[in-house]
Chains A and B, each alone.
Chain A
Amino acid sequence: MVDMPAQNPQRIVLPPHRERARRPRIVRFREWARRNLFNSRAGTLLTIITAAILALLIYGVVYFVFVDANWRVITENRWLLFAGGYPMDQEWRLWFSVMFVFLLIGLTYGTWASLGRRDHLFIVLASGFAVLLLAHGGAAIWSTIWYLIAVGLLYAGYAITIRMPREAGPGRTVQQRSVAGLLIAALPIVLIVLLAFGGARPRELEGFVLNLVLAPVGIAGGLILAIPLALGRASRMRAISWTCTTYIEVVRGAPLLGWLFVALFILDDVIGGELIVRAMVVLAVFTAAYMAEYIRGALQALPHGQSEAAHAVGLNQFQSMQLIVMPQALRISIPPMVGQAISIWKDTTLVTVILPLRELKGNADSAIAQFEFTPDRIEAYVFVAVIFWVVAFIMSRISQRVEGSLGIGER
């Protein structure tokens, strides 16, 4: 029973969907609601029940966030949560890294994608959240200013690169190569800034900083190891394929928790060194086993014609791999790889469970051990969860953008 508005005889009659679009929004909403929410007695009942549950949930969340919760446990402890034992007089190194990474995000977006309305909204919301957190206590003004400068750099980098021509040409190639080079060099640069030339000792990397260091090292190291592993497993030489298969099956056969025990008690004698380095090695080795399988899957998904055509035009084995096969295989394997990356991002919390390393969740445990904050544990964990979600969400958004610009799923 959809009541149509009276037809105006003078007007050009549009197709039904255009006609609907011309009516005021509120009328359209009323129609939509009647069709979808109140289409029958049972439907109406269900709608009312769902709405009531939703309202209760929202009320509960709003009440907790704005009335019940004592967020001082977070604002007072923001240094402990984010940097922990990092030497406070070296704070500029952290801010430098943040600015560098933000600039890089801007450059990357400007080069390969564009910021949509939802991206802007997300940046504004996340920045509001960050400023809310930073604008407390002694050095509040400065940390807020540093953060805003970082956001400014993001937009500056974006503004510069988005104006450059997208058409293929020598300029475009230079632009793409330099941004890609910066992306590859980013992790070493950040690590050098944080640790070298009078910076912190590796074990002083703590809190959120530790998560932010461990996950990229695990992901990047894993990717680097995964490509030869995937090729090795597909190799026709038995010794190589057996070695790679054994590696993959052994590493995937045990949980990360177990491998972290190995880092603590066995790698100690094998490679020694700082615990954090051992943790990085384990994360990379673990990630590699999974990523190798995603790449192998992608290699198998590629039609044989691709490498045959490469040989036909005179490319040798290596060139065909580098120019024809690998670019396509890596592109196909992006979605599962990002899934693995998000998974390893969350798994970085395990280093506190097994190893005597303190990442964000571990330092949240320490914050609620402060006498006045012992009752505020839910606040601390909710905050940690939100932080993890925000980063995972960013990773997933970026991957969607990369997929979009590479045209995955469109062919």
Chain B
Amino acid sequence: MKKLRFGLLAAAVVAIVALVAVACGDDDGDGGGEGRGDTVQTIKDRGELKCGVKQTQPLFGFREADGTVVGFDIEFCKALAAAVLKDHTKVEYIDASDASTRFELLAEEEIDVLIRTTTITASRDRELAVDFAQTTFYTGQGFAVRTDSGIDSTSDMGDAIICVQTGTTTEQNVADHFTDIGLEYDPQGGLSQDVADAFFSGRCDVLTADASDLASRIAVRDDAADYKILPQIISKEPLAPGVRDYDSEWKDVVNWVVHGLIRAEEIGITQANVAQMAANPPNTEVARLLGVPFQGGEVAALGFDSVDPQFIQRAIAAVGNYGEIYDRTIGDNIPRACTLNDLVINNSGCPDGQGGIQYALPYR
């Protein structure tokens, strides 16, 4: 009898603990899910932008020897800090290198924005309650082979050993593709760096990953000429900043900062000339984009109440336009001309079937 009573006591304790945990969880769900978020105000109150970034991705997000976080994605964090906080150094880089917890970090409000080579997909948009802003980098899944392998497209890969990173969209894409073309293949899975090592040491015939990733891994090698990337691309991987659902205000700021940086490249505003352009705007569009009056007229705020009209101007002043960001961080390691990340307006010189799709929506 005594034993039973203690058993009941223990059960009660467990139940109470569980209830408390659930209650805490619920609080959180309400904050992140249904109510309208107010991330811009949170950032301003905190005085710092919490940017979830990768710290282990060559070119996109990694660390310099002195510990600073650098890369293509990082530039957009700086641009956002400049836009919202008027100081591009006011960023706390939160490590979101781990692919499996990155969306939880966002949902749990450990970060304000996730800029970490994340592909937009419908399920992430809906199931994971992520809202994606304008794509910063377009890539797609490609294949790398040895130059002397005689493989020119996936139809030559019957019974080939293909190295692919497990647990990614990459793995699903390659399975779908080979089902579609009716060929058998031998998949060898592992972590991103492991499969690359396996490929370069000859343990598999084909390496598949984002084409930009393949390019950066091959470019760094001494024997880069022994490998080639097939022109064939089997998937779309638009990499974009993600924010929490139900926070349009913040999402719009992120979105239009990216569009603003692309537009700046389209119309020739650079980090070097932005101050002079703002002092003396050549036309109404430049004036509107930079948030300054044109010939004594009104400043167009366009309803961005939470930030002042010069937010895009500050972003450009901090990191330069889209093209400058690309050149500074990625440069020739992933050629840009006539690839998806080139500007649409540059496409006239490109060979048929090639060209960029970066295109800023009208800021007005």
Is A3 interfacial (CB 8 A cutoff)? no
Give A86 to B66 CA distance when docked, in angstroms: 9
Nearest-neighbour CB distance to chain A for B235, whole angstroms, equals: 23
> Which residue of chain A is the closest to B194 with respect to CB atoms?
A377
> Which residue of chain B is the closest to A82 with respect to CB atoms?
B67
8 Å CB contact of A79 from B58, B65, B92: B65
Is A281 interfacial (CB 8 A cutoff)? no
Interface range on chain A (Cβ under 8 Å from partner): 35 or more
Nearest-neighbour CB distance to chain B for A131, whole angstroms, equals: 19
Residues of A within 8 A of B69 (CB): 85
Known contacts: A269-B24, A369-B56, A371-B333. The answer to whether A246 contacts B13 by CB under 8 A is yes
Structural contact, B56 and A79, CB atoms closer than 8 A: no
* Docked complex: B296-316 residues within 8 A CB-CB of A: none
Residues of A within 8 A of B57 (CB): 369
Interface SS majority for chain A: helix
Structural contact, B64 and A370, CB atoms closer than 8 A: yes
Q: Please encode chain B, from 40 to 71, with 1 for each CB lying within 8 Å of some chain A CB and 0 for all others.
A: 00000000000010011111011111110100
Known contacts: A85-B67, A356-B94, A370-B64. The answer to whether A365 contacts B56 by CB under 8 A is yes
Structural contact, A353 and B104, CB atoms closer than 8 A: no
Is A266 interfacial (CB 8 A cutoff)? yes
Structural contact, A80 and B66, CB atoms closer than 8 A: yes
Give A371 to B63 CA distance when docked, in angstroms: 10
Residues of B within 8 A of A246 (CB): 10, 13
Give A79 to B63 CA distance when docked, in angstroms: 11
Known contacts: A203-B92, A242-B6, A374-B220. The answer to whether A367 contacts B63 by CB under 8 A is yes
> Which residue of chain B is the closest to A369 with respect to CB atoms?
B62
Is B108 interfacial (CB 8 A cutoff)? yes
Structural contact, B6 and A238, CB atoms closer than 8 A: yes
* Docked complex: A338-354 residues within 8 A CB-CB of B: 352-354
Q: Please encode chain B, from 184 to 199, with 1 for each CB lying within 8 Å of some chain A CB and 0 for all others.
A: 0000000001000100
Q: Please encode chain A, from 353 to 383, with 1 for each CB lying within 8 Å of some chain B CB and 0 for all others.
A: 1101110001101111111101101000000
Structural contact, A83 and B28, CB atoms closer than 8 A: no
Residues of B within 8 A of A370 (CB): 58, 62-65
Give A356 to B98 CA distance when docked, in angstroms: 8
Is B9 interfacial (CB 8 A cutoff)? yes
Give A206 to B193 CA distance when docked, in angstroms: 23
Give A401 to B198 CA distance when docked, in angstroms: 45
Is A143 interfacial (CB 8 A cutoff)? no
Nearest-neighbour CB distance to chain A for B258, whole angstroms, equals: 23
Is B101 interfacial (CB 8 A cutoff)? yes
Nearest-neighbour CB distance to chain A for B99, whole angstroms, equals: 12
Structural contact, A356 and B67, CB atoms closer than 8 A: no
Known contacts: A83-B67, A238-B6. The answer to whether A264 contacts B24 by CB under 8 A is no
Structural contact, B92 and A242, CB atoms closer than 8 A: no
Structural contact, A362 and B97, CB atoms closer than 8 A: yes
Residues of B within 8 A of A80 (CB): 63-67
Nearest-neighbour CB distance to chain A for B64, whole angstroms, equals: 7
Residues of A within 8 A of B220 (CB): 371-372, 374-375
Residues of B within 8 A of A265 (CB): 104, 108
Structural contact, B101 and A354, CB atoms closer than 8 A: yes
Structural contact, B58 and A369, CB atoms closer than 8 A: yes
Q: Please encode chain B, from 99 to 131, with 1 for each CB lying within 8 Å of some chain A CB and 0 for all others.
A: 001001100101000000000000000000000
Nearest-neighbour CB distance to chain B for A202, whole angstroms, equals: 12
Structural contact, B97 and A365, CB atoms closer than 8 A: yes
Structural contact, A88 and B66, CB atoms closer than 8 A: yes
Residues of B within 8 A of A352 (CB): 95, 97
8 Å CB contact of A266 from B24, B95, B333: B24
> Which residue of chain B is the closest to A86 with respect to CB atoms?
B67
Residues of B within 8 A of A320 (CB): none
Q: Please encode chain A, from 262 to 277, with 1 for each CB lying within 8 Å of some chain B CB and 0 for all others.
A: 0011101110000100
Is A68 interfacial (CB 8 A cutoff)? no
Residues of B within 8 A of A206 (CB): 67
Is A175 interfacial (CB 8 A cutoff)? no
> Which residue of chain A is the closest to B109 with respect to CB atoms?
A268
Is A396 interfacial (CB 8 A cutoff)? no
Give A352 to B54 CA distance when docked, in angstroms: 12
Structural contact, A369 and B24, CB atoms closer than 8 A: no
Residues of A within 8 A of B86 (CB): none
Residues of B within 8 A of A106 (CB): none
Is A308 interfacial (CB 8 A cutoff)? no
Sample 19 A-B pairs with CB under 8 A, ordered by A number: A78-B65, A80-B67, A86-B67, A203-B92, A238-B6, A242-B10, A264-B108, A268-B108, A269-B25, A270-B24, A356-B94, A356-B96, A362-B97, A365-B97, A369-B55, A370-B64, A371-B216, A375-B220, A375-B221
Closest 7 interchain pairs by CB?
A369-B62, A366-B63, A356-B95, A269-B24, A365-B56, A369-B56, A366-B55
Contact surface of B with A, Cβ cutoff 8 Å: 6, 9-10, 13, 21, 24-25, 27-28, 52, 55-59, 61-67, 69, 92, 94-98, 101, 104-105, 108, 110, 193, 197, 216-217, 220-221, 333
Q: Contacts A356-B98, A368-B56, A369-B63 given; 8 further ones with Cβ under 8 A? A: A203-B92, A266-B24, A266-B25, A352-B97, A356-B105, A369-B55, A369-B56, A374-B58
